[in-house]
Amino acid sequence: MSVVLRLPSLLGIGLVWLYRLTWGALFPTTCKYHPSCSEYAIQALRKHGLVRGSLMAGWRLLRCNPWSRGGFDPVR
């Protein structure tokens, strides 16, 4: 994939990093999933692009609630 095509997903990954360094760093809680939600988001963005990657990351975040079981959940 050319860099131009990858730009949107790179933008998304940048935002995830921004979150990690700011808001995420304020909360020492560890995610109940492996890979963690932010890592999952980065992998999903890389693999599936901005739109699908964001939707996948959003769905994972909704699943990462106190009622869910957590566990090993890689990007497919």
Partner 1 sequence: MNHMVVFAIPVLSQLEAVMRHVLVWFHTTLGLTWAWSIVGTTVVVRMLLVPLTIRQIHSMQNLQRYAPQMKEIQKKYKNDRQKQNEELMKFYREHNINPAASCLPMLLQLPVFIALYYTLKHYHFPPGSDLSWLNFIHDISAGTTTQWGGYLLLVVYVVSQMASMLYMTTATNKAQQRIMLVMPLVFVTFIARFPAGLVLYWVTTNLWTVGQGLITRRLIPKTPAPSTAIERRSSRTPPKDDGGTGDNGAKPDEPLPQQPKPQATAPRQVRRKKKRPSRR
The footprint of partner 1 (CB under 8 A) covers 22-23, 25-34, 36-37, 61-62, 64-72
What are the phi and psi torsion angles at 63 (to 5°)? -75, -25
Nearest to 75 by CA among 17, 30, 50, 48: 48
- Please state the closest distance from residue 8 (CB atom) to partner 1, in A: 16
Indicate the residue among 6 and 39 with the shorter CB distance to partner 1.
39
Comparing CB distances to partner 1, the nearer of 32 and 46 is 32
Angstrom distance (rounded) from CA 39 to CA 13: 10
Shortest distance, position 9 Cβ to partner 1, whole Å: 19
